[in-house]
């Protein structure tokens, strides 16, 4: 768990918002064709208005920081929050700050 890398990942509001959306997929991604239990499909996040490549980069940043997990199913990649990592980070930060 790299605290500084996570803090950098969280320093862009859109990435924080993506994590937020993932807290309640039913509310934010009900339009998704695939069952939400698999996670949220990468393309779903393009609703934020950024281009596909930019969204992909933000998701990669979150993934590198360990804040989300990814699962490839066919041509799709599904994202879920990594609750353990997020909780561990919050605990660490509470001690560090």
Partner DNA sequence: ACTATAAATCGGATTTTATCGATATATGGA
Partner DNA sequence: TCCATATATCGATAAAATCCGATTTATAGT
72-76 long-range contacts, CB within 8 A, separation 24+: 73/34, 73/38, 76/34, 76/41, 76/42
Binding string, 70-89, against a copy of itself, x = CB under 8 A? ----------------x--x
Residue 7 within binding range of a copy of itself, rule CB under 8 A? yes
- Residue 59 is a binding residue for DNA (CB under 7 A): yes
Q: Which residue has the tokens 């660490």?
A: 92
- The reply to whether 31 sits near DNA by the rule CB under 7 A is no
29 binds, among a copy of itself, DNA, none (CB under 5 to 8 A by kind): none
Structural element, H or E, at residue 7: helix 3-9
# residues contacting a copy of itself (CB under 8 A)? 17
- Only one of the segments 10-18, 34-42, 43-51, 55-63 lies at the binding site for a copy of itself (rule: CB under 8 A); that segment is 10-18
Pairwise CA distance, residues 11 & 17, whole Å: 11
């Amino acid at each position: 768990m790299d605290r500084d890398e996570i803090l950098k990942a969280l320093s862009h509001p859109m990435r924080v918002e993506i994590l937020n959306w993932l807290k309640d997929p039913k509310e934010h991604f009900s339009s998704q064709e695939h069952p939400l239990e698999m996670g949220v499909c990468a393309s779903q996040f393009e609703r934020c208005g950024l281009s596909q490549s930019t969204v992909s980069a933000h998701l990669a940043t979150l993934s590198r920081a360990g804040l989300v997990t990814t699962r490839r199913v066919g041509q799709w990649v599904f994202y879920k929050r990594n609750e353990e990592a997020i909780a561990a980070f919050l605990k660490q930060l509470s001690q560090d700050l």
